[in-house]
C-alpha cells in the first residue's frame, strides 16, 4: 500500500512507543493523515474484568469518540482506510482476538486494512498489514524495522 509511507509509519511507530507497554490504536485516513485513537481497554477491564479479561497490555478498544469518528468517516471524502494497533513484546501477527474484533457474523465490519505494529521492548519500528481476502485475513505488507530502508 503506497499510502503507508515512511513518514506515516513513523507517526504510528512513535504512537506505539509512547503507549508502550500498553497497546496503541488509531486510524490512517485516505489522505494519509494519522488519527491517534484512545485505547480504553484498561478502563473497561477495571469496570468489568469478567467480561473484558484483557488489559491494555494485550488488548485494545477504541473510545466511543473514536468509534463515532470511524463510522462517520465512511460518509466523507476522506474515509479511514487502515485501522492500526500495536503488539507490545509479542510480534506483529493477526491474532485470534484481532480476527474476532474485525468481523461480525463472519464478514468484515469495516472496509479497511489492519496494520499491526511490532512494539518490541518499546521500540516500534516494524509492522505488518493484513487484508481480508476470500474468507480470511492475509498479510499483504511487511514493513522493515528500519524506516530508512523503506
Ligand atoms: Zn492485536
Q: Give the alpha-carbon dihedral of 25, 28, 34, 39, to 10 degrees.
A: -10
User: Are 112 and 80 within 8 A, CB to CB?
Assistant: yes
pLDDT of residue 146: 56
Q: Over 50: is that where the pLDDT of 144 sits?
A: yes
* 3-class DSSP assignment, residue 130: strand
- How is residue 112 written as a grid cell? 479497511
Q: Please state, for a pLDDT cut of 90, what percent of the chain lies above it.
A: 91
DSSP letter assigned to residue 4: S
CA of 85 to the centre of ligand 1 (A): 7
* 3-class DSSP assignment, residue 87: strand
What Å distances lie between residue 105 and 62, 99, 100, 130, CA to CA?
A: 20, 11, 9, 19
CA of 117 to the centre of ligand 1 (A): 9
| Residues 56-109 pLDDT 10s | 999 999 999 999 999 999 999 999 999 999 999 999 999 999 999 999 999 999
Average pLDDT over residues 20-28: 97
Q: Which residue has the cell 521492548?
A: 121
pLDDT band at 150 (very low <50, low <70, confident <90, very high): very low
CATH of domain 6-144: 3.40.140.10
Facing residues of 7 across strands?
none
User: What is the spatial distance between Cα 51 and Cα 49, in angstroms, rounded to a whole number?
Assistant: 6
For the chain, which residues make up each domain, given as ranges? 6-144
Does a cis peptide bond (omega within 30 degrees of 0) precede residue 39? no
DSSP letter assigned to residue 111: S
User: Are 18 and 36 within 8 A, CB to CB?
Assistant: no
pLDDT of residue 145: 62
CA of 99 to the centre of ligand 1 (A): 9
CA of 34 to the centre of ligand 1 (A): 19
CA of 97 to the centre of ligand 1 (A): 7
Q: Which residue has the cell 468489568?
A: 48
Amino acid at each position: 500500500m503506497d499510502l503507508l509511507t515512511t513518514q506515516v509509519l513513523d507517526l504510528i511507530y512513535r504512537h506505539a512507543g509512547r503507549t508502550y507497554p500498553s497497546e496503541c490504536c488509531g486510524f490512517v485516513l485516505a489522505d494519509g493523515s494519522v488519527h491517534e485513537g484512545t485505547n480504553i481497554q484498561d478502563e473497561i477491564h477495571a469496570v468489568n474484568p469478567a467480561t473484558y479479561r484483557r488489559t491494555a497490555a494485550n488488548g485494545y478498544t477504541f473510545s466511543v469518540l473514536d468509534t463515532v469518528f470511524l463510522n462517520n468517516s465512511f460518509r466523507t471524502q476522506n474515509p479511514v482506510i487502515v485501522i492500526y494497533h500495536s503488539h507490545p513484546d509479542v510480534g506483529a501477527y493477526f491474532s485470534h482476538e484481532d480476527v474476532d474484533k474485525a468481523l461480525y457474523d463472519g464478514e468484515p465490519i469495516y472496509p479497511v486494512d489492519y496494520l499491526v505494529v511490532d512494539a518490541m521492548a518499546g521500540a516500534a519500528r516494524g509492522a505488518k498489514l493484513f487484508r481480508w481476502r476470500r474468507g480470511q485475513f492475509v498479510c499483504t505488507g511487511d514493513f522493515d524495522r528500519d524506516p530508512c530502508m523503506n
